[in-house]
Amino acid sequence: MRSDHRDPVLPEEVQPKDLHPSARNELKTLQADVQERVARHLAMVAFLIDDDPELAHQHALSANRRAGRIPVARETLAITAYRTGDFALALRELRTYRRLSGLDGHVSLMVDCERGLGRPDKAIETGLEVDASKLDTEQRVHLAIAMSGARLDLGQTQQALFELEIPELNPSKAFSWSPDLFAAYSAVLEDLGRSQEAAKWLDHAERAARALQAHHGSHDELEVFEVYEDEVETEVEAEIENEAAEEVIGEFQTVDQVPGDAPATTGAAGADEEMSIEDEVDELLAAAGITGADEESKATTQALEGSDSETERRD
């Protein structure tokens, strides 16, 4: 009950400015002193939620007592209740938040709360009530994970796999939700007895987590990072490289020889490879469709040689 709740201590260093601007903006309808205190309690929730969810929940209760009609206060209380395992309170507050804000962004938490209360059928019904196309990408991915879990609760393993086969199931990219999505997919594959595939997707999850951790320089929103294969090439890449190498070798063999082979032979064999002037004339005349190419080429050659001899005599 509210009367049993005692406000936790607010450190002096925690100020309203520590709360996200969008959340502060929602509190502007409150009186100045109430607005400040609620903002400080909500800021404390953000500081504590990962390390001490129970204390964060106490701060959320304090904020909600003073700002129960403000969506962000109900949203925060719902999240802390969910993190502490109070699924009934979390579900109630999420429904209130949706009614106040008109937003379905936390539908995945609602599905999980129904699961936590032992109602997987109701969980699936809750997820299907929402138009997923109106959710942002992260919300849609978390809904798919929650729906997959509900399917598993009902023993619908194949349907659980289908819930996760969404465009975001892409191992070449690492988003904030990628490790959870890949790990969930791995778990369902394992349940289906597809152990090798499960191991591969678990590796994708771990590699995505490492990529995200390596690029977390701050608490800024994370967009996307490329995930590179360090150890092995994909079969497609290897095939492309092999084909390219064969083309290069073929060109070398046509023009001269493959690099690294024995040098070209000299002497009689080498002389055969060099085209004489007569052969060149024959080839050109034949290409032009002129008959009697041999006789004409000989005559041309003899005329050229006779001209050279005459010139030498005159000199």
Q: What is the pLDDT along the chain (315 residues), one digit of tens a residue?
A: 445 778 999 999 999 999 999 999 999 999 999 999 999 999 999 999 999 999 999 999 999 999 999 999 999 999 999 999 999 999 999 999 999 999 999 999 999 999 999 999 999 999 999 999 899 999 999 999 999 999 999 999 999 999 999 999 999 988 999 999 999 999 999 999 999 999 999 999 999 999 988 876 544 544 555 555 544 344 444 454 555 444 443 443 433 433 344 334 444 444 444 455 556 556 655 555 554 444 444 444 454 444 444 444 444
Would residue 279 count as lying in a domain?
yes
> Does residue 267 share a domain with residue 252?
yes
Q: What is the pLDDT of residue 272?
A: 45
The reply to whether 241 and 262 lie within a common domain is yes
Q: Do 280 and 255 sit in the same domain of this protein?
A: no
Residues 289 and 302 in one domain: yes
Asked whether residue 264 is domain-assigned, the answer is yes
Does one domain contain both 269 and 249? yes
pLDDT at position 262: 39
Q: How confident is the model over 115-159, as pLDDT tens digits?
A: 999 999 999 999 999 999 899 999 999 999 999 999 999 999 999
**Residue 26 lies inside a defined structural domain of this protein:** no
Number of domains in the chain: 2
pLDDT of residue 257: 39
pLDDT confidence of residue 258: 38
Do residue 279 and residue 314 come from a single domain?
yes
Residue-wise pLDDT for 170-203, tens only, equals 999 889 999 999 999 999 999 999 999 999 999 9
In a domain, 302, yes or no: yes
Say whether both 285 and 267 belong to one domain. Answer: no
Domain residues for 244? 233-274
Give me the DSSP letters along the chain: -GGG--PPP--TT--GGGS-HHHHHHGGGS-HHHHHHHHHHHHHHHHHTTT-HHHHHHHHHHHHHH-TTSHHHHHHHHHHHHHTT-HHHHHHHHHHHHHHH---TTHHHHHHHHHHTT-HHHHHHHHHTS-GGGS-HHHHHHHHHHHHHHHHHTT-HHHHHHHH-STT--TTEE-TTHHHHHHHHHHHHHHTT-HHHHHHHHHHHHHHHHHHHHH--SSSPP--EE---SS---HHHHHHHHHHHHHHHHHHHHHS--TTSPPPP-THHHHHHSPPHHHHHHHHHHHTT-S-HHHHHHHHHHHHHHHHHHHHHH-
- Is 311 within a domain? yes
Same domain membership, residue 303 and residue 291 = yes
**269 & 284 share domain:** no
Residue 260 included in any domain: yes
